[in-house]
């Protein structure tokens, strides 16, 4: 069974810092990996999707990398802002269960002014 782990569970940084969120998964046979953002009490917003054949994806200040063989992904946030404060979730898609996602528990990020 696929297990997804996110480290750290919580992170607090001052505004302007660059930061890295980590995600690891136990089964490297994945179709893709998706990073989401969740604000308190809200649904999930998709940030980046990396296909299993890709190494990284970029969107604005966000860059996500994937090393499928080692079962790792990182989300890099450049020049963090208070508006980036949220929980960030990593999810991998396997080949069963209707291609549903297996989620980590998330990293709670607080960016202080």
Partner 1 sequence: SQTIHQWPATLVQPVGSPLSLECTVEGTSNPNLYWYRQAAGRGLQLLFYSVGIGQISSEVPQNLSASRPQDRQFILSSKKLLLSDSGFYLCAWRFGGYEQYFGPGTRLTVT
Among 86, 91, 109, 111, binds partner 1 (CB under 8 A): 91
Contact between 23 and partner 1 per CB under 8 A: no
Q: Is 40 in the site for partner 1 (CB under 8 A)?
A: no
- What 66-71 contacts at long range (C-beta under 8 Å, 24+ apart), as own/partner pairs, is 66/33, 68/28, 68/30, 69/28, 70/28, 71/24, 71/25, 71/26, 71/27, 71/28
**Which range touches partner 1 (CB under 8 A), out of 18-26, 58-66, 73-81, 87-95?**
87-95
Q: Say whether residue 59 binds partner 1 (CB under 8 A).
A: no
3: region left, alpha or beta (phi > 0 left; psi from -120 to 50 alpha): beta
Selected binder of partner 1 within 21, 30, 77, 89 (CB under 8 A): 89
Q: How far apart are CA 93 and CA 103, in angstroms?
A: 9
Residues that bind partner 1 (CB under 8 A): 4, 31-32, 34, 36, 41-46, 49, 51, 89, 91, 93, 97-106
């Amino acid at each position: 069974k696929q297990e997804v782990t996110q480290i750290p569970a919580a992170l607090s940084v001052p505004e302007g810092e660059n930061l890295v969120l980590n995600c690891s998964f136990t089964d490297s046979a994945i179709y893709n990996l998706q990073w989401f953002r969740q604000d308190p009490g809200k649904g999930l917003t998709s940030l980046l999707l990396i296909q299993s054949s890709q190494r990284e994806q970029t969107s604005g200040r966000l860059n996500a990398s994937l090393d499928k063989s080692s079962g790792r992904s990182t989300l890099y946030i450049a020049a963090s802002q208070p508006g980036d404060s949220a929980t960030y979730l990593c999810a991998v898609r396997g080949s069963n269960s209707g291609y549903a996602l297996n989620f980590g528990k998330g990293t709670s990020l607080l960016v202080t002014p």
